[in-house]
Amino acid sequence: MSSPSRRPTSADVAARAGVSRATVSMVLNGRVEGTVAVATQQRVLAAAAELGYTRSALAISLKERRSRTIGLITDEIATSPFAGRMARAASMVAARHDHLVITVDLSLRDHTVEDAARLLAERQVDGLLYATMGRMRGPLPVVPPGIPLVLANHEPVPPGADERGEGAELPPTFVPDDYGGARRAARRLIETGHRRIAMLSGDDRSVAVLEREAGFRDELADAGLEPRMVKAGWQIDDGYRAAARLFAGEDPPTGVFCIRDRVAAGVLQAAAAAGISVPGDLSVIGFDDEDFFAERLVPKLTTIALPHEEMGRRAMAALFARLEGEAAGDDAGLVVVDCPLVERESVGMARGR
C-alpha cells in the first residue's frame, strides 16, 4: 500500500511562487496592505491553490493563543429535531466570529456535563455553551477555570442553594418565558370570547409544566374565570385520550390550551372523531411551534413559539462578549426570552355548543 502524499507546507508555496515564506504568511493571513504587490499576491494564492495548501489551525492557535473553537455541550438538541434551531443559530454566530463549534452530545456518551467540559478543555476550546433540549433547573456546572461559560435552557440554582455556597457568580443564562407564553395563550382564548377553557398539561413536575400551569391559572384568574386543569401527558395519544374524555363530559370546553404541540395534535384528532369543528366549535392552542409539525397539522396550529433560535443566537453572542472582554449589557445573569404567539388557523371566535 502506498503511503499518503506529503502535506504541502508554506515553504513549498514560497518556492512555487518564487517569494519568501514571510511573503506567503502575509498574503495568506491578509496582512498585505501597502506591503505586497497585487501581482505577487495573485501568484502566492495561485501557488497555494495548485498545491492544495491549507494553513495549520494548530500553528495559528499557538500564535494567537486561541483555538478558534467553541465547545457546545448538549443533551440531545444537536441530534433532535425539536430544538435544532438553537444549535444552528449558535453555530451561525460562531461562524461569523471565525470559530468552529465542537459538539459533545451527552445522549450519545456516558458523560456528565463536567466530563464533557474537561474533554473540551483538553482540546483548548475558547469557551463553553451548555444547552439543554428542555428547560431545566439544577446546580451550576463545574468547568475548568479560565474558560467562559454560558447556559441556554439550563437555569442554575441560586448561589447558596447547593454545595457551591453563596456568592458564586452566575454566567449569562438564557431561558424561555414559559410563564408569559402560557398567559399569552390563555389571553388569546379569552380575547376570542371563550369562557370554558381547559389546559391539557404534562404529567410531571418539570419546570415547563410548573411555569406554564402558573401562567395559565393567573391569566384566567385575572379574567374572573375558573381554570380547568387536566394532567394529560406529552404525546399525541395523551392529548387524544384527555380530549375525548373532556368532549364526552358535561360543559365541554370551547377553548383548549395544550402543554405541547403534539398534545394539541391529539386534541385535533379527538375533535375530528367527535365531529367537532376546529376552529368553528373549538379553539386549540399549542406550545413549542415545533419545526415541520405545527404548521402541517389540519387545521394549521396556532401555538406559542419556544424562542430556540433567539436563545442560541444571544447565548453565543454573550459568550463572545465574554471572550472579548465586552460589557454584557442586557444579556447578563438570567435572561428570560419572550415566547411569541404564532397565529395560524386553530383559533376562532367562541360560539355556543
Q: In this predicted structure, what is the pLDDT of residue 69?
A: 94
Within a domain: 344: no
| 26 and 119 both lie in a single domain | no
Q: In this predicted structure, what is the pLDDT of residue 32?
A: 74
- In whole angstroms, give the CA distance from residue 22 to residue 25: 5
Residues 6+ apart with CB under 8 A from 231: 201, 202, 203
Within a domain: 189: yes
Within a domain: 345: no
| 95 and 242 both lie in a single domain | no
Note down the domain range covering 141. 67-177+309-337
Within a domain: 17: yes
Q: In this predicted structure, what is the pLDDT of residue 63?
A: 53
Per-residue H/E/C for 238-301: HHHHHHHHHHHCCCCCCEEEECCHHHHHHHHHHHHHCCCCCCCCCEEEEEECCCCCHHHCCCCC
Q: In this predicted structure, what is the pLDDT of residue 168?
A: 55
CATH number of the structural domain spanning residue 96: 3.40.50.2300
C-alpha cell at 199: 389546559
- On whether the CB atoms of residues 189 and 257 are closer than 8 A, the answer is yes
Within a domain: 258: yes
**Of all helices (H) and strands (E), which one includes residue 64?**
helix 57-64
| 92 and 154 both lie in a single domain | yes
Q: In this predicted structure, what is the pLDDT of residue 261?
A: 97
- In whole angstroms, give the CA distance from residue 121 to residue 102: 11
DSSP 108-170: GSS--HHHHHHHHHHTT-SEEEEEEEEEEEEPPPP--TT--EEEEEEEEPPTTSSTT-TTPPP
| 295 and 320 both lie in a single domain | no
Q: In this predicted structure, what is the pLDDT of residue 163?
A: 43
Report how many domains make up the chain.
3
Within a domain: 271: yes
Within a domain: 163: yes
**Of all helices (H) and strands (E), which one includes residue 13?**
helix 10-17
| 153 and 207 both lie in a single domain | no
The alpha carbon of 310 is separated from its chain's Cα centroid by a whole number of angstroms, namely 7
- On whether the CB atoms of residues 267 and 302 are closer than 8 A, the answer is no
| 83 and 122 both lie in a single domain | yes
Amino acid at site 26: M
| 284 and 327 both lie in a single domain | no
Q: In this predicted structure, what is the pLDDT of residue 328?
A: 62
| 221 and 323 both lie in a single domain | no
CATH number of the structural domain spanning residue 17: 1.10.260.40
**Among 246, 310, 236, 290, which residue's Cα sits nearest to residue 268?**
236
- On whether the CB atoms of residues 341 and 188 are closer than 8 A, the answer is yes
Q: In this predicted structure, what is the pLDDT of residue 329?
A: 66
- According to DSSP, the β-strands at 173-176 and 149-156 are parallel
| 21 and 95 both lie in a single domain | no
Q: Which residues of the chain have pLDDT under 50?
A: 1-3, 62, 162-167, 353
Handedness of CA 18, 19, 21, 23 (dihedral sign): negative
| 142 and 236 both lie in a single domain | no
pLDDT, tens digit, 9 for 90 and up, residues 22-71? 888 888 777 777 788 888 888 988 888 888 877 655 555 545 566 889 99
| 32 and 147 both lie in a single domain | no
| 201 and 301 both lie in a single domain | yes
Within a domain: 1: no
